[in-house]
Amino acid sequence: MKPKMSWLVLIISQSLLLSACSFGQPDRQQEESRSVTKPSVESEVVAQNLSIPWSIQKLGDGIYITQRTGGIVEIKDGKKSVIKTNLSRTLSARPEAGLLGFVLHPDFKMNQLAFAYYTYDDAGDPYNRVVVLKRRENQWSEEKVILDRIPGGQYHQGGRLEIGPDHMLYMTTGDATKQDKAQDLTYLGGKILRMKLDGGIPSNNPFDDSYVYSYGHRNPQGLAWDQDGELYDTEHGPNGFDEINLIEAGHNYGWPKITGDEKEKSLISPLAHSGEPSWAPSGADFWKGDLLFASLAGQSVKRFNTGTQQVSDLLTGFGRIRDVLVEGDTLYFVSNNTDGRGIPREHDDKLYEVDLNSLMNEE
């Protein structure tokens, strides 16, 4: 009876997830295959048994990974440890929420500071905030809140943090399922925001006294700059129609007025979109002029050729992928099979390392 009961529970849980998707709450994603596919490339497992990893950072021989459930994984000299993170608010347990974006301060070696984005609940409502963390002995501690009350929801938290070539801090925020608010410049959700590293508003931001850099976004989760300093984002669309955009200051990227190939005056259409089914794209980085990005529902690392504007699979067979990081010709990426929407492999989730030159030679 037990095997039959376990299958019944699996069927019911999948039905509930698909039912929730049909009401437009979470992003509709491909139903996960019950079979674990073979990885398409050779890779090295750098770390395993991670708990819903979200963001990768690397400095020298140290690798840092946030976990949605809390704690920052540090990997040095081949050894993994989970460093306690002392936050002033308790992490929200809502879907897609928790400890998300993370980026080291440019002067981290001297000041031991980093920035983090996390979700918490206040009086029953979810919010996101950006904080400064300081590394002390065997813990990270919240030192300062530099932006608070970023709208949160049951879904669509956004959460990516990156420092641009202009030494400004950029962050992506989701529309918190209040889709029309993505067009409201007074609402911080559904935006890409830009701030000074001390939390101030840059004088050359496109809107006066505002952190808003671009708007009309649904749930952006990837940011990356090419060698010319052009900013690209990846973002989740509605039931597919995920996007890759070239981001310019002050521009309106259309959500919810347009999606996919739709066009409207003064609104920016994507360079590429998934159509159906969904990619569910997340973290992104550049390698030799191509945008590489993580794909959750697409269960792959994908490659966007900025010349042809075509998207292809770079590697597959690792399940759901949350973030990527490129250092030289090495690709690091984390699986996200323990997030409740995937099928965990043994010792999931994992941080992998792949030699990109070897990968290209095999094509």
164 burial level (CB within 10 Å; 0-12, 13-18, 19+): middle
Least confident of 12-16, 30-34, 231-235, 281-285: 12-16
DSSP strand pairing (139-151 vs 79-86)? parallel
Neighbours of 259 (CB within 10 A): 19
Which own/partner contact pairs does 80-83 have at CB distance under 8 Å and 24+ positions apart?
80/47, 83/135, 83/138, 83/139, 83/140
Average pLDDT (261-281) is: 97
Residue 36 has a pLDDT of 61
**Residue written as token pair 């990227």:** 253
Q: Tell me the pLDDT band of 358, cut-offs 50, 70 and 90.
A: confident
Say if residue 11's pLDDT is above 80. Answer: no
Q: How far apart are CA 92 and CA 72, in angstroms?
A: 16
Residue 41 has a pLDDT of 81
Say if residue 18's pLDDT is above 50. Answer: no
Q: Tell me the pLDDT band of 335, cut-offs 50, 70 and 90.
A: very high
Query: What 3-state class would DSSP assign to 113?
Result: strand
Say if residue 313's pLDDT is above 70. Answer: yes
Neighbours of 308 (CB within 10 A): 9
Six-digit token pair at 263? 């066009």
For residue 222, what is the enclosing H or E element?
Answer: strand 219-225
Residue 305 has a pLDDT of 98
Closest CA to 54 of 356, 354, 333: 333
**Residue written as token pair 């959700």:** 189
Six-digit token pair at 101? 């974006």
- Phi-psi sector, 271: left (phi>0), alpha (psi -120 to 50), beta: alpha
Closest CA to 340 of 7, 97, 82, 71: 97
Q: How far apart are CA 338 and CA 308, in angstroms?
A: 35
Span 41-95, pLDDT tens digits: 889 999 999 999 999 999 999 999 999 999 999 999 989 999 999 999 999 999 9
The upper half-sphere exposure of residue 357, i.e. CA atoms within 13 Å in the direction of its Cβ, equals: 4
Residue 201 has a pLDDT of 98
Say if residue 13's pLDDT is above 80. Answer: no
Residue 38 has a pLDDT of 73
Residue-by-residue DSSP string for 193-209: EEE-TTSPPPTTSSSTT
Q: What angle do CA 74, 79, 81 make, to 5 degrees?
A: 40
Say if residue 21's pLDDT is above 90. Answer: no
Six-digit token pair at 240? 């597919």
Residue 65 has a pLDDT of 98
- Is the pTM higher than 0.85? yes
Span 153-206, pLDDT tens digits: 999 999 999 999 999 999 999 999 999 999 999 999 999 999 999 999 999 999
